[in-house]
A = this chain, B = another copy of it.
Amino acid sequence: MAGRKGTLMSVRKDIKVLDATIRDGGLCNNFNFSDDFIRALYKMNVKCGTDYMEFGYKASRNMFKESEFGKWKFCKEEDLRAIVGDNPSDMKIAVMADVGRCDYKTDFLPKSESVIDMVRVACYIHQIPAAVEMIEYFHELGYETSCNIMAISQAGSDQLSQALEMLAATNVDVIYLVDSYGSLYPENACELAKLYLAAVEGTGKQIGFHAHNNQNLAFANTVETMTYGVSFLDATVQGMGRGAGNCALELLLGFLKNPKYNLYYVLEFIERYMLALKAQGVVWGYDVQYMLTGLLNRHPREAIDFTAKQRTDYSEFYKALLEND
């Protein structure tokens, strides 16, 4: 458990790459992607060997107005099928369901009637009991499930041990370590990963890592935790995601040694689709303001606001962050 699993030359068959471009990237543009973009992304992921593609959220249409978001905030079955048909590929389809922000008892079909393969349940640590209920519900429906415990850098270690113990006793397939604030360094990310791995030892469950790039460590933390046994790896094309973004899919596929992964198609997608998105004014990625919230282990909302206002007074921003701590 303590040592690294394999070497830089190993092909680890347990590794699963999950592309979260629409879901985390959608937070940058209110999920307003063209169908053309989504279709091309789906094709790209199939060609480059991605194991799971997350299409977005299954958010409550009672809590969120459909007119205010693109369709991938809601991931209706017919919208998914308009892109993937019956998904005649080896790649699995995932959606995210936030605890407290979805109508899971009405909005999910049984797996036998859905093109969705995995439901990822996202929660804060105090919501674990609610997450457990949802996980068992989705499991009963026939879905693979994951539990993505967010903002883990602010959880106490007692809380975390309890949460992991509770989850290890459920039917969940994957438990995710989520560095929501991008505040983890490789050293403590790996220590946390070892806790997660120990908690599921012998259960057959896998551990995932979802990185944010506030301190430019998203890729590093992903590959470092991986070497200790983390096997579900989230990434997004060009790291597209809220604020500083995520681990870049192109970096991750470049790193992985399994010949099933093919970097070429990601590069092609970047030049054809991502550059246009950036040219339209969609903004994400590492910048000084995100480094500061990451360093202070804080939600990036103030940095996102700083970015939106096109401010560059980093020193004033830092002073203000230190004051309102």
Contact = CB atoms under 8 A, between A and B. Distances in A.
Contacts of A255: 185, 215, 295
A188 interface: yes
Interface in A272-317: 275, 288, 291-292, 295, 312-315, 317
A271 B8 contact: no
Interface residues on A, range: 35 or more
Interface in A209-241: 215-221, 223-224, 227, 238
B248 A270 contact: no
Main SS at interface, chain A: helix
A227 B218 CA distance: 19
A314 B271 contact: yes
A267 B318 contact: yes
Q: Which of A188, A217, A313, A319 has the most CB of B within 10 A?
A: A217
Nearest to A220: B220
A1 B8 CA distance: 22
B271 A313 contact: yes
A215 B247 CA distance: 11
A161 B215 CA distance: 34
Interface string A173-200: 0000000000001111000000000000
A264 interface: yes
Contacts of A312: 271, 275
A263 to B, nearest CB: 7
Given A217-B220, A250-B291, A227 B267 contact: no
Q: Which of A216, A238, A254, A291 has the most CB of B within 10 A?
A: A216
A47 to B, nearest CB: 12
Given A216-B248, A250-B288, A319-B264, A270 B314 contact: yes
Given A220-B221, A254-B292, A268-B315, 20 more contacts: A186-B186, A186-B223, A187-B224, A187-B227, A215-B254, A216-B220, A219-B220, A224-B224, A248-B291, A250-B291, A251-B291, A255-B295, A263-B318, A264-B315, A264-B319, A267-B288, A267-B292, A267-B314, A268-B314, A270-B288
Interface of A: 4, 8, 185-188, 215-221, 223-224, 227, 238, 248, 250-251, 254-255, 263-264, 267-268, 270-271, 275, 288, 291-292, 295, 312-315, 317-319
- Listed from nearest, the 4 A-B pairs whose CB atoms lie closest are A220-B220, A267-B314, A267-B315, A268-B315
